[in-house]
A and B are shown apart, each in its own frame.
Chain A
């Protein structure tokens, strides 16, 4: 079955540590996105990519980095520069150039600073 796989489901980060969240899709979607969700709030866009080897900053990119070396993969690194990283991170994908197509989401990664 096609879908998006995020791993790990739970992640604990120590102060000053970089961590990488994995996102893999087998839907053959062109576009991939990373969103952050804080309790009681909506989704805020961190980064997105519409094509391999290209990505764009979203609204809250500071302290995060991404890569898109393969169409299927869009990992997110939370760097030590992100001072408040505790949140629920969601990866999504969609078909580009189809305005009727919404997002398919992964199951999310819950990151906690310890």
Chain B
């Protein structure tokens, strides 16, 4: 079992819809969870961090964490074509373990 698993994708949504990206992790002791966005051919950039159970909102992005289920998700509301990218889930601060990513395409 991989330490961090994400929906294999690709995920395609129409412009204006909600995109839902999911991630599960195996280490029950993990405390910190991150979402990175990676445009094609570019390096990842940090977009969200969460460590408490529940929801954390930042603009159109909402991260959700459920430690009991070992589950992290990222919701993108009002999806835009500029959101088209690969989204990487990472667990732990320092020496992070990454999932393989989910590629999102937002169609105009």
Are the C-beta atoms of A105 and B98 separated by less than 8 Å? no
Chain A contacts for B46, CB-based, 8 A: 102-104
A85 beta carbon closer than 8 Å to chain B: no
- In the docked arrangement, what's the CA distance between A40 and B44, Å? 14
Q: Which chain A positions have C-beta within 8 A of B94? A: 31, 50, 94, 96, 99
Report Cα–Cα, A106/B43, bound state, in Å. 7
Decide if A48 touches B51 in the complex (CB within 8 Å): no
Q: Which of the residues A33, A41, A101 comes within 8 Å of B95, measured between beta carbons? A: A33
Verify A99–B31 contact, CB threshold 8 A: yes
B51–chain A nearest beta-carbon distance, Å: 7
Contact A42 B43 (CB under 8 A): no
Could you tell me how many residues of chain A have their Cβ less than 8 Å away from some Cβ of chain B? 25
Apart from the given pairs A100-B32, A103-B44, 11 other A-B contacts in the complex at a CB distance below 8 Å: A33-B95, A42-B4, A42-B88, A42-B98, A42-B101, A96-B94, A100-B93, A102-B36, A102-B46, A102-B49, A104-B46
24 A-B pairs, CB-CB below 8 angstroms? A31-B94, A33-B95, A40-B100, A41-B101, A42-B98, A42-B101, A43-B98, A90-B43, A94-B93, A98-B93, A99-B32, A100-B32, A100-B49, A101-B93, A102-B34, A102-B36, A102-B46, A103-B34, A103-B46, A103-B90, A105-B43, A105-B44, A107-B42, A107-B43
Question: Which A residues are closer than 8 A to B by beta carbons?
Answer: 31, 33, 35, 40-43, 45, 48, 50, 58, 90, 94, 96, 98-108
